[in-house]
């Protein structure tokens, strides 16, 4: 039985022996001796009292286990907490002796073992939180005195049953602007990034249901990082395991287990400097490493073989005397700040001017993102360890020579075999000449990114040029995503070059051929290519026709790469176009190949009817195009959906079969929709057609408004509910 009161207090010359425990006031934690099955190796530690199996959060004698069960923890007269081994004497000491104090030890409900002077409750002589183990608890601080030291950080255990300090550390790196890193010795393995006023820029812990409040204090004398639980009933901890992974756990009363809610590194892009210098890592791209705009791989052959360690070099050297410019990147984990410079008082514009004055300055960003942004953070020489964080991240401005800011990249399918790596780079002046200075006469159309212009190169090659609008919701990342996919994918019904659209009346045979071509293009994306691609923005304006009226699926800016065994994915930011998005995506942010099937079905019904879904409204029944088609089908009058152009008796049954397939594709539930391989067979009449069920977003007789916007521009800021 313990020899001390339940009030968690140990006074001078009292001690804790084997099988004794010191319990915190509310019974959350207890401290005492434990072992990992070998009674000859005893440790003194702290653990959760009512959680099984025992979860250790701190160990005193990590390097020096007691050799037998005669060990005791004793509070000496002058305030030192000592661990005694019956055969060796003192094997651990808090080294906190003070003359003239009345020492007491308390185990707090935070898990902090505190030694203080009973004559002055605020006079803390020593506390376990100042000597972190492998566990980061609420209320604990990772702190450093920047003048005198010391430097507090987590260290991993050597193994799951050996608490001796292992190879890995979790700390705040104080070089340059402070940042959180996980290291193996002196080598950085993972970098959570620098603090931006809310969180570290490389961490995605900002969620709707937050459980903790994180804070970071940084002055010229000290820094500290800690978190507090927002709900005292929630038990959470961060652990650096023996393999260098930091995991945040939450205790589940329902399942009685620790549930991992985050783990770092989370994916391949979290590996420090994976892509080398002057590069960016995008886990949703293929390949995941890409040179920054204005840079190219240092060694092309190695880069193409996915050896990115040498990174990228500038295509055009900076010209400090005659001025340079900056290219803005959004939603980024800021690069390594160990060689950065910062100033809390400068505005972003002042930061830009400061960077331009220094020929070695290569990038700048706000120090703090709160309240519209403040402070200045600048980088010198090479950019290291930057990645995209689509759900959060930060803006950063990368310095480029002015000539590089005018480049536009355009793809060309140079041979029939189609080499996916063929990319030609054109100077901005060449594009300007080809498009007659972006004349309105050359304008082909406009999408969510901005206008598209027809151009003719000096060799007579016709091209189409996307020009990004300043007001566009899309940007560099969507454009680069499209470039990479189009450079990789090869199919006659996928656009390698944006082909000229021609306004021409199409007969029914040609219309049905176009529908069949679109279906085959989607089948290639979903099944037949070496990649599995979900387009996410299939619509009539993204179906381009070449001179022979062969359809080409274009605009891969929103496309996503799926693993072969991956069925679906989810996003908090819904991207696509009203009128073509299936209900599970628009409402819940869930998308799959069946999302493209739904959009394809809408396109089929639009081509057959001659109406756009987003612009059609049946005034009598208040139905959108899908609802109108469904009503006609149920009333056995599908031929009334056919556009008002002549079709002979031979072609009419085939058109009705296409309507049938279109309705199967737009069914409410994704599991009821056919896949594209079945669709291709259905269109050819080679597969029996089941009866369709009610379409998604079918608006009924009593609905006062359409579910869809009349604006066909691609949207990218709609939050899933």
Using CA atoms, how far apart are residues 252 and 472, in angstroms rounded to an integer? 44
Helix axes 652-665, 625-634, angle to 10 degrees: 120
Beta carbons within 8 Å of 307's beta carbon, 6+ residues apart: none
Whether 209 has a pLDDT exceeding 50, the answer reads: no
The mean pLDDT of the chain is 83
pLDDT, greater one: 208 or 603: 603
Structure confidence at residue 449 (pLDDT): 67
pLDDT tens for 61-78 read: 999 999 877 888 888 878
Catalytic residue among 537, 555, 596, 624: 537
Residue 609 near residue 601, CB atoms below 8 Å: no
Average pLDDT over residues 541-565: 81
pLDDT band at 16 (very low <50, low <70, confident <90, very high): confident
Q: Domains in the chain, please, with CATH?
A: 1-127 (2.90.10.10), 132-266 (no CATH), 270-406 (no CATH), 410-719 (1.10.510.10)
- pTM over the 0.85 mark: no
Structure confidence at residue 499 (pLDDT): 58
Average pLDDT over residues 609-618: 80
Listed range (80-84, 146-150, 261-265) with the worst mean pLDDT: 146-150
In 174-270, the DSSP E strands lie at 179-184, 187-194, 212-218, 222-229, 236-240, 246-252, 257-264
537 part of the active site: yes
pLDDT tens for 239-287 read: 999 999 999 999 999 999 999 988 889 889 999 999 999 999 998 888 9
Phi, psi of 56 (to 5 degrees): -80, 135
State the DSSP string of 484-539: HHHHH---TTB-SS-PPP------HHHHHHHHHHHHHHHHIIIIISSSEEE-S---
pLDDT, greater one: 675 or 457: 675
pLDDT tens for 292-335 read: 999 999 999 999 999 999 999 999 888 876 668 898 898 899 99
pLDDT band at 503 (very low <50, low <70, confident <90, very high): very low
Residue 458 near residue 438, CB atoms below 8 Å: no
Structure confidence at residue 450 (pLDDT): 74
Beta carbons within 8 Å of 161's beta carbon, 6+ residues apart: 36, 37
């Amino acid at each position: 039985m313990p020899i001390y009161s339940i009030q968690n207090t140990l006074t001078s010359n009292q001690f804790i022996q084997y099988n004794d425990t010191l319990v915190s006031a509310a019974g959350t934690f207890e401290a005492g001796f434990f072992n990992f099955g070998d009674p000859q190796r005893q440790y003194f530690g702290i653990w959760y009292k009512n959680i099984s199996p025992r979860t250790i959060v701190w160990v005193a004698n990590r390097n020096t286990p007691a050799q037998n069960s005669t060990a005791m923890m004793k509070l000496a007269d002058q305030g030192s907490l000592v661990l005694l081994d019956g055969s060796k004497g003192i094997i651990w000491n808090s080294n906190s002796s003070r003359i003239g104090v009345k020492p007491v030890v308390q185990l707090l409900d935070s898990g902090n073992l505190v030694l203080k002077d009973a004559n002055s409750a605020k006079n803390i002589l020593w506390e376990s939180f100042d000597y972190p183990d492998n566990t980061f608890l609420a209320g604990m601080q990772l702190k450093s005195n920047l003048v005198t030291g010391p430097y507090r950080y987590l260290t991993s255990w050597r193994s799951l049953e050996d608490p001796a300090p292992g190879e890995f550390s979790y700390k705040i790196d104080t070089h340059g602007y402070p940042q959180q890193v996980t290291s193996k010795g002196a080598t950085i393995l993972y970098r959570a990034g620098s603090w931006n006023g809310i969180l570290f820029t490389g961490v995605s812990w900002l969620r709707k249901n937050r459980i903790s409040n994180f804070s970071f204090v940084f002055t010229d004398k000290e820094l500290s990082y800690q978190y507090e639980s927002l709900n005292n009933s929630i038990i959470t901890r961060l652990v650096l395991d023996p393999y260098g992974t930091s995991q945040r756990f939450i205790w589940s009363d329902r399942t009685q287990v620790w549930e991992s809610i985050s783990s770092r590194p989370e994916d391949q892009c979290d590996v420090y400097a994976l892509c080398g210098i002057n590069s960016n890592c995008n886990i949703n791209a293929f390949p995941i490493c890409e040179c920054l705009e204005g840079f190219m791989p240092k060694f092309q052959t190695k880069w193409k073989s996915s050896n990115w360690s040498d990174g990228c070099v500038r295509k055009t050297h900076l010209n400090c005397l005659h001025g340079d410019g900056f290219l803005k990147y959004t939603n980024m984990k800021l690069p390594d700040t160990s060689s950065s410079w910062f100033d809390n008082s400068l505005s972003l514009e002042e930061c830009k001017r400061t960077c331009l004055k220094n020929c070695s300055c290569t990038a700048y960003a706000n120090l703090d993102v709160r309240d519209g942004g403040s402070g200045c953070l600048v980088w010198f020489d090479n950019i290291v360890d930057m990645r995209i964080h689509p759900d959060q991240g930060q803006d950063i401005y990368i310095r480029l020579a002015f000539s590089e800011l005018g480049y536009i990249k355009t793809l060309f399918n140079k041979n029939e075999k189609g080499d996916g790596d063929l990319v030609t780079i054109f100077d901005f002046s060449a594009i300007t000449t080809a498009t007659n200075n972006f004349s309105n006469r050359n304008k082909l159309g406009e999408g969510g990114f901005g206008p598209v212009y027809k151009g003719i190169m000096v060799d007579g090659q016709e091209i189409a040029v996307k020009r990004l609008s300043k007001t566009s919701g899309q940007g560099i990342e969507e454009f680069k995503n499209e470039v990479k996919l189009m450079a990789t994918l090869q199919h006659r019904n996928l656009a390698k070059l944006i082909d000229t659209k021609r306004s021409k009346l199409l007969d029914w045979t040609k219309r049905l051929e176009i529908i069949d071509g679109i279906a085959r293009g989607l089948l290639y994306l979903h099944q037949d290519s070496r990649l599995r691609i979900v387009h996410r923005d299939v619509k009539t304006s993204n179906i381009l026709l070449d001179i022979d009226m062969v359809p080409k699926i274009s605009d891969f800016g929103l496309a996503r790469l799926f693993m072969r065994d991956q069925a679906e994915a989810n996003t908090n930011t819904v991207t696509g176009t009203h009128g073509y998005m299936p209900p599970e995506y628009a409402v819940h942010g869930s998308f799959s190949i069946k999302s493209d099937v739904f959009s394809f079905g809408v396109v089929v019904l639009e081509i057959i009817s001659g109406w756009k879904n987003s612009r059609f409204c049946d005034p009598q029944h208040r139905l959108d195009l899908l609802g109108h088609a469904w009503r006609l089908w149920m009333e056995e009058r599908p031929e009334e959906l056919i556009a008002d152009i002549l079709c002979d008796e031979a072609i009419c049954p085939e058109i009705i079969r296409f309507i049938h397939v279109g309705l199967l594709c737009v069914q409410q539930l994704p599991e009821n929709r056919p896949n594209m391989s079945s669709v291709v067979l259905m269109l050819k009449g080679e597969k029996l057609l089941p009866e369709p069920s009610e379409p998604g977003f079918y608006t009924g007789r009593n609905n006062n408004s359409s579910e869809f916007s009349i604006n066909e521009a691609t949207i990218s800021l709609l939050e899933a509910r």
